Structure 1
């Protein structure tokens, strides 16, 4: 099981954060975080439901992390293990995560695949998303996996779709000429782009594109 206590900063004030595995008693708070992250008109049926959350804690509890501030859940991150070979055919989010139910979790999988990361808007200036990501890297090392992998939305791509391809957009983000809320954040977290994937998820702003991004375990030769 995972437990880490660190200090994050609210401007200049240190604030204690606790990262731990979430449990069944946390489900109500985890759904609240989803509601805060994705308010209407986002469809409520796409928030976590109890069956999905129960699968997370039953099938791969080490991949179910939350972060607490003042004993209140401020964010969460969920992953499952899959077998991934670089260069294999494209997948979408629904296929690779079993639509968030992770019934396809492979206990000996070589890759930790990110299902979701959410931080309540109230706490987004504390760096909790990066903290959760770093914690999940530690899970990769703990289990001897090769990498962390996941698709990142490209929410500003719709502003540039008439000027450039999604691949060119990604290149501009990497060059620093465009700042994308998700891809730039993942670069800050140490993730590196693998490729752009079409029809990864239904996402109007990204025009259904995502960038597959990984973090490789540095100890693997």
Structure 2
């Protein structure tokens, strides 16, 4: 299935043409640039996309490899694979479930679309592109008749509160609106629902290596 959606995003009251489509090999330099701009230090640079990983994305599961263009310029991307998720055994790390981002463990018969990564260049973030990318992955979930979209969200604001509260308490404060987290709050705005906090989810200094597992369930799944 090829994905293509054209629409308008808004810079205040000014409409700007945008497209969401499957990314291809010609897009790899732009996708790596998105990573560098979206995840600056202290996020580890070795976790930025490598060409071999991107090649796997477009060959193993191109349906889960989407980018967004604004006025013809690639501004963000989102990547996913299919996994067979057991809700009674949710513990995992990002490295395990995504094969370190190489997705060689992609399961064509999986029940869950797992988000490997989402990133938007900082200069485009006022346009709401992340929410558009996430909603496009919901389209893929519905099209493929999957149970859910799933992924672990970074908690980059947690390090500021780590001496005061547990990660679970931090998540609860974000859910109640007492705190705002750059990633968890964004995912809540996208319709994702927290399942649980996972320790040692990803090497991430700002999150103290924690991640919040969050899902979006297919309302049409039976």
Residue 166 of structure 1 is matched in structure 2 by 167
Matched, 1:70 2:38: no
Structure 1 gap segments, 5+ residues each = none
Q: Which residue of 1 aligns with 2:155?
A: 154
Q: Deviations over 1:153-192 (max 9, x none)?
A: 1111111112211111111111111111100000000000
Give the 4+ runs in structure 1 shifted more than 4 A: 40-43
2 CA distance for matches of 1:41 and 1:165? Answer: 22
Question: Aligned partners of 1:215 and 1:36: how far apart in 2?
Answer: 27
Corresponding residue of 2:48: 47
Structure 2 residue aligned with 1:180: 181
User: What's the TM-score once normalised by structure 2's chain length?
Assistant: 0.97
* Inter-CA distance 9–180: structure 2 relative to 1 (3 Å threshold): same
CA contact (8 A) 2:43 2:204 kept: no
Distance 2:181 2:42 in 1: 22
State the SS of the aligned residue for 1:181.
coil
Deviations 1:42-61 (A, max 9, x none): 54432211100000000000
Count the aligned residue pairs. 221
Is contact 2:78-2:133 (8 Å) kept?
yes
Tell me the CA shift for residue 41 of structure 1: 5.8
In structure 2, the gaps of 5 or more residues are: none
TM normalised by structure 1 equals 0.97
Indicate the residue corresponding to 1:30 in structure 2: 31
